[in-house]
Structure 1
Amino acid sequence: MPPISHILYLHGFRSSPLSTKARMTHAWVQANRPDLHWWCPQLPGSPAAAMQLIMDGIADWPWQRMAVIGSSLGGFYATAVAERTGCRAVLLNPAVDPARDLVKYLGEQPAWHDPTQVVEVRLEHMDELRAIAPSAITRPERYFVVIAQGDEVLDWREMHARYTGCPIRLLEGSDHALSDYDQDLPQLTRFLNL
């Protein structure tokens, strides 16, 4: 595979480019691979708008030389991006069925990094998520999946089943936020040959 030149990082639900994992990954890139093109957009609440923003943003990228890293809902989007582009993907506790899981958050939800900001969740967003969901994982060797058995938000068994056949780092404990992400970062950068 050709070396990576572009990295797309996709944050999770109610999160932002200010997430700890996004900032730690970006800091690693700046310190170790400042030549890489880095993009971590603030994703809108509408899944259709989020995918449009993402696909427009990477339209001119060399897809065979890009990687996408996604956390939680961002992992769901990252899977969709990888299946559309053929790029490599790193998934961090990826959401498997957000259309099912997010329906309980209908209405305005405070953003994690700025509670004065809100994310509006609408019923039509569930249809948008279903429309985005890839039907299958093709070429599982392109994926590296970090799954925490201690995830308090998503079911690790469901994640593990969805990404069977992919290289998986299964953590015995940890949590949804991957509080020990600094221990996972070296493995994902090795997987991407950075």
Structure 2
Amino acid sequence: MTTTHLLYLHGFRSSPQSLKAQQMAAHVAAHHPQVHWWCPQLPPSPRAAAQLLLAGTADWPQATTAVIGSSLGGFYASWFAQQRGCASVLLNPAVFPARDLEKHIGAQTAWHDPEVQFFFRPEYIAELQALDTRALPPAGPELAFIAKGDEVLDWREMTARYPAAQIVLQEGGDHALSDFATHIEHICRFLALA
């Protein structure tokens, strides 16, 4: 499998300005310029995010599409991989966002620009539940980077969620995967970027 179209999905309160997204985008541009890269700003509504992703990739070739997702973006990436039957790379992926984000209902600020505010609505919890693919076998190859030192999510839940994945389990580390740049070559090999 060669990847010609690559989707990157950021996490909750994050954006395409995230360091990991920027590092991956720069690497793809420099070393795999023929790869079609898309890192959209995801709306707060999970249903709206799902619709955006399906519409934005509607003309992508299924056989050569892949997705990378971080945190909540990892949860979305697993859902997207089911829709497209494609490979996925998961970076400290959220496993139970419907449970974990209940305490974040209300006004939120964007991580990279505190001036940007949004409202995380109660109905978004049900929208997250509707996108849950835990009961399904993987639709394509999976590679997961999981840090035991993640201060936001439990590494044990993440590893249990992806029994079929190639897992890179870090001793220590953090939720942001601050050493992400050191994993980019591994990701590119796994996805066989064009």
TM-score (norm 2): 0.97
Name the amino acid aligned to 1:95: A
* TM-superposed deviation, 1:136: 2.7
Matched, 1:121 2:120: yes
2:186 matched to which residue of 1? 187
Residue number in structure 2 paired with 1:49? 48
Kept in 1, the 8 Å contact 2:85–2:139? The answer is: no
Q: CA deviation at 1:119?
A: 2.7
Contact 1:11 1:22 in 2 (8 A): yes
| Cα distance in 2 between the residues matched to 1:146 and 1:135 | 18
In the aligned structure 1, how far is the partner of 2:45 from the partner of 2:176?
Answer: 22
1:27-84 per-residue CA deviation (whole Å, 9 max, x = no partner) reads 0001100001000000000000000001110111001101100000000000000011
Q: How many angstroms does 1:184 deviate by?
A: 1.4
Matches within 5 A, 1:1-194: 1=1, 3-139=2-138, 142-194=141-193
Residue 183 of structure 2 aligns to which amino acid in structure 1? D
Q: Indicate if the aligned counterparts of 1:141 and 1:167 stay in contact, CA closer than 8 A.
A: no
How many residue pairs align between the two structures?
Answer: 193
Render the CA deviation track for 1:109-166: whole Å, top value 9, x for unaligned.
1101100001311110000000011143424761000000000000000000000121
Percent of aligned positions that are identical: 56
Q: What is the SS of the residue equivalent to 1:169?
A: strand
Q: Distance in 2 between matches of 1:118 and 1:137?
A: 34
What CA distance in whole angstroms lies between the structure 2 residues aligned with 1:139 and 1:149? 23
Q: Structure 1-normalised TM-score?
A: 0.97
- Partner of 2:101, secondary structure, is helix
CA distance 1:77–1:128, shift in 2 (3 Å): same
RMSD: 1.1
Deviates more, 1:131-140 or 1:99-108: 131-140
| Maintained 8 Å contact 2:142/2:164 | no
- For 1:108 and 1:139, the matched residues in 2 are separated by 34
- Secondary structure of the structure 1 residue equivalent to 2:188: helix
Which structure has more relative contact order (CA 8 Å, sep 6+)? It is 2
- Aligned equivalents of 2:138 and 2:102: distance in 1? 30
Letter of the 1:65 partner, please give it.
T
Give SS of 1:146's match.
strand
